[in-house]
Amino acid sequence: MNIVPLNYKGEPIRFNTDGWINATDIAKRFGKRLDHWLSNTETLEYVRALDEVYSGEPSKILHTRDSGYVKTSKARKDRGGGTWLHPKLSVAFARWCDPKFSVWCDLHIDSLLRGELTEQQKYEQACRIRDDRKSKASNGAREMARWRWDKPVIEANVEYWREQLQLTLDIAC
């Protein structure tokens, strides 16, 4: 799972590149219990409505956790562990946590799904460009210094062979 940490009020919020969000971390951050939201009747109704839109048929989902819109990984936190919510479910969950966070989530999920670069990716890209240009400038300066030292010898060598060529041409005439 490719995890993309985004920053909300100085704290990382973990998404994956498909827009799924780690709800375990967020619930703790807002002092909420994820199991309360997952067992909430309104949450199940939302999941069933979402499923009907996606499947085009009446939903057969009986429990939010078994819906396919919620994935739980027992891996360590740094390896993607926790409960992850589908992007469409993420905004409903975020709204339950905090309205301002919900708007922030909606915008960032949208950006991830459109393939836009995150702040972290933009920063890393800017660093790569800077380092590349710095390396080229350093190599350029090194080559300029080398030219300054080698120029007299190279020019003398060119002059010598030019004279040799003239002598050869004079004899040939």
Residue range 109-127, pLDDT digits in tens: 777 767 665 666 677 777 7
pLDDT confidence band for 137 (50 / 70 / 90): confident
- Judge whether residue 18 has pLDDT over 90: no
- Domain borders along the chain are 3-115, 117-173
Nearest to 84 by CA among 10, 18, 6: 18
Task: Read off the pTM.
Answer: 0.60
Cα–Cα distance list, 110 to 7, 15, 167 (Å):
15, 12, 76
Q: Burial level of 135, CB count in 10 A (0-12/13-18/19+)?
A: exposed
Distance CA 21, CA 141 (A): 47
3-115: what fold?
Mlu1-box Binding Protein; DNA-binding Domain (3.10.260)
Cα–Cα distance list, 122 to 57, 129, 135 (Å):
41, 11, 20
pLDDT tens readout for residues 63-111: 988 888 998 877 666 655 789 999 889 889 999 999 998 888 888 777 7
Least confident range of 45-54, 133-142, 151-160: 133-142
- Judge whether residue 36 has pLDDT over 90: yes
Q: For the chain, give the mean pLDDT.
A: 83
Distance CA 151, CA 148 (A): 5
Identify the residue whose tokens are 């950006």.
111
Identify the residue whose tokens are 């009747």.
41
Identify the residue whose tokens are 């905090």.
98
